Amino acid sequence: MTYNIETRKVQQTGGSSYIVSLPKEWIDRHGIQAKDTIGILPQPDGNLMITPYIYSEQYIKERSFDIDEINNSDFLFRLLIGAYIMGYSIIKIKSSKKLQHQVRSTIESFINIAMGPEIIEETSNTILIKDLLDPKEMPFDKTIKRMYILAQNMHEDAVRALESGNKNLAEQVINRDDQIDRLNWLVERQAHIVLRDIILCQKMNITLEDASNFQLISRFLERIADHAVKIAKSVLRIDFKKIDKILLNNITEVSKLSLELLNLSLDAWLQKSLSLANENIESIEKLTYKCEKIEFSERNSAEFVVEIGYIIESIRRTGEYSSDISEIIINNLI
């Protein structure tokens, strides 16, 4: 739907009051009556927003899924995650017959991994899920900081598992992937909510640009964690005793450099520093060069050349994503 801008003349009543008439079409569409209260919000760009929604609770959205039209559990899980990320407060799952155990198990998996949703009503053929998390209780910056720590620890542990041949530690890294996924989904969800709810946006003391940037940073951190998982999975396929120790030392060195870039992007964000962000972006060439210079021949680790290649690539990508975050920081600060 497209809207043409309408103009209204400002009228003065009394000595110091000014009034502007509201479009009748807008009044009718929102069912506003005489003497009803509406919200008026000054915007940072000088505009004035008029809204019929004084409280964020009026933005509750509901999405319904018919199990009769969903052919497998993976599809259902993706639909639930999609509805969650898009900010639906209530999700209803219904069926023409009794819900099967597999369906209920998929819903329970969704409830366990997502932050906020809980089952509030249940019958033999319907389940009603409601999000109980107040977005204001989970500020974006705290979630992003936690994601930084998780991504860093996952990368460190994955490389440590490679150095020591500790496959149990590699398994732990893989299992931690769900933790950062749920935080990323939370950021994605809250970004979608505040982008349509300017009142909540102002209550959280952020701008729409902030919400969009947090969403991008969260996505990059989630990808960094994904590369830590890729490293850990490669470790599971490698026989530690057959890997040349010089090669391991070289991989460890580039890993440290990659983590330095990740930490530098965090410092640039926390300190709101253009110079640190720029330093981070320029440092990526050094990481790329060192990764390309790592050599391994048939004498040392040829049996696992593919896995070693994946590991080095994931280390490089971690640094590049850190550089991408710094670009977002520069754009935001400017």
- Domain of 154 in residue numbering reads as 136-333
Q: What is the pLDDT of residues 59-91, one digit of tens each?
A: 568 899 999 988 889 999 999 999 999 989 999
Using the structure block, give the residue that is written with the tokens 């981070």.
280
Task: Give the per-residue pLDDT at 133.
Answer: 86
Task: Give the per-residue pLDDT at 158.
Answer: 97
Q: What is the pLDDT of residues 234-276, one digit of tens each?
A: 999 998 888 888 888 999 999 999 999 999 999 999 999 999 9
Rg (CA), the chain: 26
- Are 65 and 35 contained in the same domain? no
Task: Give the per-residue pLDDT at 52.
Answer: 76
- Are 149 and 184 contained in the same domain? yes
Q: How far is CA 29 from CA 24, 52, 62, 132, in A?
A: 9, 10, 20, 29
- Are 220 and 171 contained in the same domain? yes
**What average pLDDT score do residues 137-166 get?**
94
Q: 162: helix, coil or strand?
A: helix
Q: What is the pLDDT of residues 191-209, one digit of tens each?
A: 988 877 777 777 788 888 8
Q: What is the pLDDT of residues 275-302, one digit of tens each?
A: 999 999 999 999 999 999 887 665 555 6
Bridge-partner residues for 66, per DSSP? 94
- Are 74 and 143 contained in the same domain? no
Q: Would you put residue 11 in left (φ > 0), alpha (ψ -120 to 50) or beta?
A: beta
- Are 111 and 180 contained in the same domain? no
Contact 129, 90 (CB under 8 A): yes
Give CA–CA dist 183/144, Å, rounded: 8
- Are 115 and 257 contained in the same domain? no
Element (H, E) at 328: helix 305-333
Q: Does residue 3 belong to any structural domain of this protein?
A: no
How many independent structural domains does the chain possess? 3
Give CA–CA dist 141/156, Å, rounded: 23
Give CA–CA dist 215/184, Å, rounded: 8
Q: Where is the domain boundary, 115, 135, 155?
A: 135
